[in-house]
Every structure is written in structure tokens, then in C-alpha cells.
Amino acid sequence: MKMTFRWYGSASDPIPLKYIKQIPGMTGLMGLLDRPAGVAWAEEDIAALVKEVNDAGLELEVIESVNVHEDIKLGLPTRDEYIENYNVTIRRLAKHGVKVIVYNFMPVFDWLRTDLARVIPEDGSNSLYFDEKDLGEMGPLEIVRRTAEDSKGFTLPGWEPERLALLETTLKQYEGMTQDDLRANFKYFLDAVIPVCEETGVRMACHPDDPAWPIFGLPRICHSQADYDKMVKLHDSPANTLCLCTGSLGSDPNNDIPSIIRHFGEMDRIGAMHVRNIKFLGYHHFREAAHLSCTGDLDMYAIMKAIHDVVPDTYVRPDHGRMIWDEQGRPGYGLYDRALGAAYLNGLWEAIERGE
């Protein structure tokens, strides 16, 4: 296992690389260049990022994320140009030592929460929270408007208020698209990029839908074992893998996370792991918990044991943490609770190894 940490780059991440390096057992990052979907990343920018990270004593073998342009998901004729750019980016990243690219194939929205700083009554810390009841009858446009008014903290990443008109158009383009239609567009993408990955030694790792069910009537195709069984067959290659996020898949209690890890790990289709805990509060209602098993509803020992048994060499990062000790920062991505998470997960790992 390689313990890694998500980092957004020195221009936008307040956490210095030096602090990340000081977390015991930390080997590297899941890092990125902040570029719009669809553009080819400049090689000199990639080289500069890798150098900056390496100079801090950390590796950059995982990129999270290289985003997939909406036209690719929509299957528009313009997709070929964006796919070509994606392949250019894969080749350049490979040249600079990148082994895994995390991405997702969610239409329009990335993750969605209804509160970004819900106070946890037991200890006064706060974390990301979702209650479908709070969405009520609201559609996505209404939620983006509310976000603009900063009234309730709804967050739809990537949809700033000034892009509202574009959002309306994009949502219309998805009208009538079925899961199978989206899957066909996914296959077209994979058929184009996976051969480049095979040639360059890179693995694509697809992150699950978060939360793990369809929202706003949009098709979503990556939130269960059955979904991913279809996904890995779309282009059958060891380079076509999952970024198995325990918190995203785990938001649906029907997903048995250790069993899903074993299933896809035994097929060698796990490229990277995000490990975090979830506290269920009701139907489609949860908050993110500290990593420790007893603070949430996922069995973190069973999760780490499954990783140990089937994908012992994979990349793991502590996913979202709570905000503790009055830290101010990007919701889910503070230093302190994620560092505690890494230490805990490393402790479980050591115990599992010693137990053998």
C-alpha cells in the first residue's frame, strides 16, 4: 500500500507540502493541475508540478483528476477532439512518472451535499452532510441559485452562478438519455483512451457516483458492484480500473464495501482507493464521519484487510476529513482530520501485517 494525500496545488491549496510530508508514512500525493476539461495539459506544467512534489520528498504517481469533457459524456461530434487532447495528456503524464489517472463519468455534476459544515453534536467538529429531504422538489437550477445566494450551503462543484445559462443548456442535452446511452458514450471514450494507457503503462481509475444513486433524473452508471461489472467489461483491460471510494459507494448501505473490494481486487481492477467512513442517519441521509470504525457505519478494519488481501500494492488516501481544531479550509480537505485518518489507516495496516 502507498499512503497518499490529495493536494490541489500550491496556488489553491493552503496546506504546504512540508506538512503533508510530516504525516507519518505518507509517500506521495494524488495531485492535479487545475485545467478546464478538454484541454491538453502542457508538458512544462506537468514537469514543474512533478518537480515541486518530488522536491518536497513526495511522489506524484496518481493524478486526481483529469476531468472528462461534457461533450464526451454526451456523445457529441466534438468529443473526438477532446478525447485526442485527453490522450495527449495521458502520454505527457506517463512520461513524467504518473501511473494512475483518477476521473469520473458523472453527467453534469460531481459530488453533491446539502451542508458542507454540519456540526457533529457529540464533539462540535463539522463535516459534509447530505439529506435528500432538504432537496425537496428543488431541481438543480434552483439549487445553484440558492448556492449563489449562499442561503443553505448547497454545493454543486463546478457550477458557479455565472455559468447558470450553460447549466440549463447542458441539462437539456441530457434529457432522454438512458443509462445505456451514457454507457455507450463511456465505451467510446474507453475504446479511445485505454489503448494509449496500455502503451504508456498508465491505469485509468473511475471514481463512483457520489452519493451512490441517480440525482435530478440524470443517468448515473457507477454506483454499485453491478454497475462496475458492466464498466470493466466495456473495454476489457487491466488499464480500465476503479478508484474505489468507500465513502461514495458506502453512502448506499446496500453496497458491501469489503466484498466489492475483494471482487474487483481479485480481478486486478482497482487502480486506487479512497478510504473514509460514513454515518447513516436515515434513507438517503448521511454525514461523513471520522475514519475510525466506531465513529461511523463502515468497518474500516474489514476494508483495510480486504485491500491487504487483494490489492496490497495499491494507492490509498484518507478521503474527506471533518473540520476539527477550528481549522479553516476547503470542506472535506483540511489537514488535521485527514492526517489522523492516515495515521489510523496505517495503524490498521501494521496490525494486519503483524497478525500474519
CB of 193 to Mn ion, least distance (A): 21
Q: Is 274 a catalytic residue?
A: yes
Amino acid letter at 110? D
Nearer to Mn ion, 5 or 82 (CB): 5
**Bridge partner residues of 203 (DSSP):** 100
- 245 touches Mn ion by CB under 5 A: yes
Nearer to Mn ion, 188 or 213 (CB): 213
Nearer to Mn ion, 70 or 288 (CB): 288
With cell 490498521, the residue in question is 348
Q: Is 319 a catalytic residue?
A: yes
Q: On the CB side of 103, how many CA atoms lie within 13 Å of its CA?
A: 25
Q: Which of 1, 72, 4, 69 is nearest to 35 (CA)?
A: 69
**Catalytic site residue from 320, 336, 337, 344:** 320
CB of 217 to Mn ion, least distance (A): 23
**Catalytic site residue from 274, 308, 336, 337:** 274
d(C-alpha 208, C-alpha 276), whole Å: 14
d(C-alpha 197, C-alpha 203), whole Å: 6
**Catalytic site residue from 13, 227, 319, 337:** 319
Question: Concatenated DSSP letters for 293-310?
Answer: GGGSSS-HHHHHHHHHHH
* Interface map 309-338 toward Mn ion (x if CB under 5 A): ----------x-------------------
Q: Is 207 a catalytic residue?
A: yes
Amino acid letter at 45? D
CB of 102 to Mn ion, least distance (A): 9
CB of 249 to Mn ion, least distance (A): 9
CB of 248 to Mn ion, least distance (A): 5
The helix/strand/coil state of 317 is strand
Of the candidate residues 274, 291, 305, 317, the single one contacting Mn ion (CB under 5 A) = 274
Q: Is 320 a catalytic residue?
A: yes
Our CA angle for 241, 31, 257, nearest 5°, is 40
With cell 501485517, the residue in question is 353
Q: Which residues are the active-site residues?
A: 207, 245, 274, 319-320, 333
**Where along the sequence are the contacts to Mn ion (CB under 5 A)?**
245, 274, 319
